[in-house]
Chain A
Amino acid sequence: MRPFSYARVADADAAIAAVRERADSAFLAGGTTAVDLVRQNVLRPGLLVDINDLPLSGIEDLPDGGLRIGALARMGDVAGVPAVRERFPVIAQALLLGASAQLRNMASMGGNLCQRVRCSYFRDPASPCNKRDPGSGCAALEGFNRGHAILGTSDKCIATHPSDVAVALVALDAVVHTRGPAGERAIGIDDFFLLPGDTPEREHPLEHGELITAIEVPATPVARRSAYLKFRDRESYEFALASVAAAVRIEDGTVAEVRLALGGVGTKPWRARRAEASLLGQPATGASFAEAARQELASARPRPLNAFKVELAQRAIVRALATLTDGGAR
Chain B
Amino acid sequence: MVLTVNGKRHEVRLEPRVSLLDALREHLGLPGSKKGCDQGTCGACTVWVDGRRVLACLTLAVACEGREVTTIEGLSSGGDLHPMQAAFVERDAFQCGYCTPGQIMSAVALLGEGHAGDDAEIAEWMSGNICRCAAYPNIRAAIRDVRDAAGGKR
Contacts and interface: CB of A to CB of B under 8 A. Distances in A.
A5 B109 CA distance: 32
B59 A105 contact: no
Interface centre among B17, B43, B126, B129 (most CB of A within 10 A): B17
A195 interface: no
A6 B16 contact: yes
B128 A237 contact: yes
A125 to B, nearest CB: 15
Given A39-B38, A103-B40, A48 B16 contact: yes
Contact of A103 (B55, B115, B123, B130): B55
A36 B39 CA distance: 6
B39 A39 contact: yes
A102 B16 contact: no
A100 B17 contact: no
State which size class the interface on A falls in: 20 to 34
Interface in A206-232: none
A106 B55 contact: yes
A4 B115 CA distance: 38
Interface stretch (B5-13, B46-54, B83-91, B137-145): B46-54
A35 B54 CA distance: 14
A28 B16 CA distance: 12
Contacts, number: 77
B104 interface: no
Contact of A102 (B39, B60, B106, B115): B106
Contacts of A48: 16, 60
Contacts of A2: 17
Contacts of B109: 101
Among the interface residues B40, B52, B62, which one has the most CB atoms of the partner chain A within 10 A?
B40
A3 B128 contact: no
Nearest to A80: B113
B128 A103 contact: yes
B59 A31 contact: yes
A117 to B, nearest CB: 15
B63 A102 contact: no
B81 interface: no
A3 B17 contact: yes
A299 interface: no
B150 interface: no
Interface of B: 15-17, 19, 38-40, 43, 46, 52-55, 57-60, 62-63, 106, 109-110, 113, 115, 123-130
16 contacts: A3-B16, A28-B60, A28-B63, A31-B63, A32-B58, A35-B59, A36-B40, A99-B128, A100-B127, A101-B113, A101-B115, A101-B127, A102-B106, A105-B52, A236-B124, A237-B128
Interface of A: 1-6, 8, 28, 31-32, 35-36, 38-40, 48, 50, 52, 99-103, 105-106, 235-237
Given A1-B17, A100-B43, 16 more contacts: A4-B17, A6-B63, A28-B60, A31-B59, A32-B40, A36-B40, A36-B58, A40-B39, A99-B128, A100-B127, A101-B109, A101-B125, A101-B126, A102-B46, A102-B53, A235-B127
